[in-house]
Each structure stands twice: as C-alpha cells, then as structure tokens.
Structure 1
Amino acid sequence: MDAVPILPLAQITAKLRTGETRGAVLAAEQVLTTARQRVPHEEGTLERSGAVSAPHETGDGVVVGISFNTPYAVRQHEELDWRHDDGRQAKYLETAKADDADTAKALIAQAIRAALG
C-alpha cells in the first residue's frame, strides 16, 4: 500500500482559506451577473455601477461584498411600486442572491476542492 503524505494542519487551513476566498469571489460575481440582468435600466448607469468588493477575512470566514454605487441605487432596489421594463425589477440584488444561492454554494465548494487538490 502506498503511503499517503500528511500535510501540516496550517498548510491544510491555508489551502482551505484560499479555496474559500476564490469561491466567494466567483459566487459574488455570479450573483452580480444575475443582478445586472434585473437592475432597472434607463441609461445603464446603475447596471454599470455594480461591483464585487475585494474579499476580506472575518472571524467567521471570508466576506465579499456586492454593491451598486449610484445615489439612487438603494431607492431603486427598495421601491416596490415603481414600474420597470420587462425583466427589470426592484429587489434586483436580493432576488439574485436568493435565486443563485445553490450555484454560489457549488462554486465555493468546487473552489475549495480544487485548492485542496
């Protein structure tokens, strides 16, 4: 039987964190892509303002933010009574996050598996 090398715990933890970070960024980019397809669209400024923030570590793991940066982004997101073109809607980020949850989890898991080899 072949010997299986055992990695030090610190090395395993570092690989896990690398995969977690990469997966979180991929998941956030997926949610952003979906949200951009739903964001109210007049001239495209709001859609183009969407961005994924740089990942940072917390005590609970890695956090990656998704934001739309216009003075009216929050209002467009929250006003349920405003009329939008077909396929465009309020709650564009919230619904994208919910709808892409399974895909996001799969992207994170895949990135962790790849990092662990």
Structure 2
Amino acid sequence: MDREASDGYRLAWDDDRILAAIRGASMEGLELAAEHLLQASSVLVPLEEGDLERSGEVSTDADDQAAAVSYDRPYAVRQHEELTWRHDAGRQAKYLEQPMTEERDTMLQLLAGPPRDLLGG
C-alpha cells in the first residue's frame, strides 16, 4: 500500500514483509533467550558423569513461535524435583526453575532484541 503525505514524502507499506521481519526477529530473540537459559541451567545440573548436562538442548518451533529447554535423560525430571537429594557443590535440584526466575530480565532483553532495522534498509 502506498500513501503520499501532504509534505510530499511517500510511504510504502508491505504487510507481508513487515510481519515476516517481526516474526523472524522475535524467533531469533526467543532462541537467544532459550540458549541463555540452557547455559545458566547447565552449571547447576547435578553432575556425576556429565550425561545429564550433555543432554541439555534447545528446541524451537517457528510455526508456533515456541522454544523449549530440556534435558533428556530418564532421571532428569526426578533430579530437578527431588529437593532432598545431595549434590556436588554448586549443583542442585531446580536447575531449570531457578535460572528461569533469576535470569528473567536478561531473557526478556534477549527476546526484545537490539534496536535494529528489521527490514534491512
């Protein structure tokens, strides 16, 4: 859609291009936030041989605009929820929940992304 303003400048509005740029930028921010959570949680994951820590990954779904951080060992949920188990120094239960809360502001900033020209000029 083109519109001409009274002072002579012309505005070209391309809905599809704008929506695609916003969607791409928001997915990029979502992935960055999820990667940040993975990094923050990996230093808290209970550690014996490192299998649980190595199993951590970020999964994304661009169609649903969703991202997930997961650890895929059979004992991952129990390790996360069992508050009575002892862990090595610096390692703990709630290894995803705690950084999700503590890193909230950083993840929101990553979601928002840096100010930039979304349409590339």
Take 2:98 and 2:82, find their aligned partners in 1: how far apart are those partners? 14
Take 1:9 and 1:3, find their aligned partners in 2: how far apart are those partners? 19
- Structure 1 stretches of 5 or more lacking a match? none
Residue number among 45, 49, 55 corresponding to 2:51 in the alignment: 45
- Structure 2 stretches of 5 or more lacking a match? 1-6
Q: Which amino acid in the other structure matches residue 78 of structure 2?
A: R
Residue number among 11, 17, 21 corresponding to 2:27 in the alignment: 21
Count of residue pairs the alignment pairs up: 113
Aligned to 1:96: 99
RCO (CA 8 Å, sep 6+): is it higher in 1 or 2? 1
The answer to whether the 8 A contact 1:25-1:55 is kept is no
Q: CA RMSD in A?
A: 1.9
Q: State the shift of 1:47 in Å.
A: 0.3
Q: State the shift of 1:87 in Å.
A: 1.1
TM-score by length of 2: 0.84
Aligned to 1:67: 70
Q: Which amino acid in the other structure matches residue 86 of structure 2?
A: R
The answer to whether the 8 A contact 1:18-1:115 is kept is no
The answer to whether the 8 A contact 1:19-1:114 is kept is no
Distance 1:2 1:64, change over 3 A: farther
Q: Computing the radius of gyration over CA atoms, which structure comes out larger, 1 or 2?
A: 2
